[in-house]
Structure 1
Amino acid sequence: MTGKLKGRFMEAGVGITNVHLLNLTKERATISNAEGYFAMDTQVGDTLLISAIRYKRRTFVVSENMLASTTLMIELEPFVNELEEVVLRPYNLSGNLNKDLVNLDVDEPVSAVSLNLPNATAKKRTQAERQLIEATTGGGLVPLNPILNAISGRTKMLKKRLARDKAYLLTQEVRARYPDSLFVKDLRIPQIRIPDFMYFCEVDSAFAELAGRRDDLKMWDFLKVKGLEYRKTNQLD
């Protein structure tokens, strides 16, 4: 039995964007839209892998009931990665504001801010940032938006979405530094699994620090090590 599998990725009733759905049997892939919806041509018995930043990976086998469903609702479980103390280089920042203010000794760079240019600090906000601002502000003597959204949990959800969006963009930026052929030939990662491999790397505590340094050689060394781990974990050898 073949057909189009339609569904929505959810967390606490809210759709999740940028979730990758990989058909490992047919070597196809799709990604959820801004509201969490997806659609993919499949058949009964296909093995699918769900892969997304900040969520636990899941695999499942397509059944007749799934294909018959109008919209398959899939609740994803957040992945909590507890980090130890991190030092940010080159300024040796510890994350402790009082400590860093004492130790930090750098000259102010020449920039639009230091020159006091108009709109120097203005930046284009993402959709998640705009939604969070809307949820936490409001007009009137007693703004109701922050109160209602805090009670409903919408503010907390939007903060999580903003963090996921930033993590997703960082991971995509790192992937864009290298052609897919390097992942396939040098790391022996199947092309369809590259997004999942990047998420596998992202949950490593060293990933974000390396990504921020923009040292392509050290990042590639890191990816090579993670490639071996990924292949072993997923029994690709």
Structure 2
Amino acid sequence: MRLKKLLILIGVALGPFVLRAQDEPVSEMLQEFTALVINAQTEEPLESVHVVNLNQVIGTITNAEGEFTIRAAVNDTLYFSYLGFKSQKIRVTNDMFRFGDTKIALTELAYALEEVIVRPYQLTGYLEIDVKNLPINTAYQYSISGLSKSYEAGNKNPSAVTKVLGAILNPADLLRNLFGKRPNQMRKLRLIKEDDEIRDLLASKFDRETLTELLQLEKVDIEDILSNCNFSNSFITTANDLQILDAMSSCYEEYKVLNRKK
């Protein structure tokens, strides 16, 4: 009986350590990964290349010697982005940690500028005439008396009004359809916003490429989320990636509030 009580006491005393040991393998798997980024054509080191660990949602940049260090685990995917070079992804392997001489080569982009024909507006100075020469915005907006907001529904089509009414009358259901099927991707929004290196990278991007890699969403999915969250088409097409991230995050926070009230 005494032996049994002693074993129970030992188990209680060691319990927290056992639980902690079970929780720590993920963090213990993370190691400091160091590598060199070079120009594939000249083999010269590249400075200020943005490096993002897509799995851990952390970022860094290369130094003057083209080197970087980032926390990573085996099988993590690193995303490299640099102005004028093709973005690249690599998978971290055991050999990269073992030998420690990894070089990542980025290839320069070949830009082919197409001919652009500029047709200036033929302004006459007469307002009535000049207004008729301006391009017409085909995006329809709908408003309901008593509501302060207007809702943009894109081009005129039979489902446009239904879409707007659904957004007004059932906001929780609409947002649940947008976010409910993507819980893992949406949880990354907060982590992305907390990393300064990733935010700096997104602030310089307008192509949604980095966002789609981070969130594992298609570009069309991002546009669908924003349009259904009452952001205008003009904002969706002209905002930088950081503004798009903040817009999605604010809409997701609204969804969480509505979902709690259900």
Give yes or no for TM over 0.5.
no
TM range (shorter): 0.3 to 0.5
Larger helix share, 1 or 2:
2
Larger Rg computed on CA atoms: 2
> What TM-score comes out, normalization by structure 2 length?
0.37
> What TM-score comes out, normalization by structure 1 length?
0.41
